[in-house]
Structure 1
Amino acid sequence: MQQRGFSLPETLCSLVLFAVVIILLLNYHRGLQQGGEAQWQTRQLWRYALEQTEPESPPLPDGWLVQKQQISCGDCLCISVTITSPQRRFGQLSKRICPLPHSNQE
């Protein structure tokens, strides 16, 4: 009488292979997720930095740090910002705000 089905060694081998594939897929997913979070944090950092270069800027959320310097550059206002995220990522941004020239149209 011939038996049909898989033997115990074949079943164990397939189970080990299945477990290895699942672990690799989970690690790949975690890497993608961390990359996405890092990209989102970087976008937030630059968005907040751009907001902080305005003369009257909104307050930052808790955990974010900003160093802001405003100096006069001739007829313009120069604003330099260094911003640090809660994850210790940082960026620097500078902006020059000059008055619009007046046109004499009558």
Structure 2
Amino acid sequence: MPASLTTRKDTGFSLTEVLVALVLYGVVISALMGYHQGLSLSFQSLWQYRELWRIAAQQVEPEALPPPSGWTVTRGQTSTAGCVSISVIVTSPAGRRGELSRLQCR
């Protein structure tokens, strides 16, 4: 038979299959980007809390260093019966607050 009369099966993907694959790819990438953003915000929040408590722990020491710029520290100290109570309220630049007290007796 002549070559023009034989049926030839084309190989490859149809346009419909390619479009469906692109839509699925876009949905998966969007979901992964949302998941990444959620993880990033969670990590940042956890870091801020850890930083807040680290600075608060430094500030309840009798000889505390000044806090980093942007951080607010309110410190109170009372003394009774040979014991010193130091209370600290630390506020982060983002507005998170932490309160810590320490009692020292000699």
TM-score, normalised with respect to structure 1: 0.89
Counterpart residue type for residue 22 of structure 1 = I
Q: Which residue number in structure 1 is paired with residue 11 of structure 2?
A: 4
Runs of 4+ in structure 1 deviating by more than 2 angstroms, as ranges, are: none
Q: CA RMSD in A?
A: 0.9
Q: How many residues align?
A: 99
Q: Which residue number in structure 2 is paired with residue 35 of structure 1?
A: 42
Q: Which residue number in structure 1 is paired with residue 33 of structure 2?
A: 26
Q: Which residue number in structure 2 is paired with residue 57 of structure 1?
A: 64
In the alignment, structure 1 segments of 5+ residues that lack a partner are 100-106
TM-score, normalised with respect to structure 2: 0.89
Counterpart residue type for residue 68 of structure 1 = R
How much identity, in percent, do the aligned residues show?
Answer: 47
The structure whose Rg is larger is: 2
Q: Deviations over 1:42-80 (max 9, x none)?
A: 111101001100111011111100110011122111111
In the alignment, structure 2 segments of 5+ residues that lack a partner are 1-7
The whole-number CA distance in structure 1 between the counterparts of 2:39 and 2:80 is 44
Counterpart residue type for residue 12 of structure 2 = G
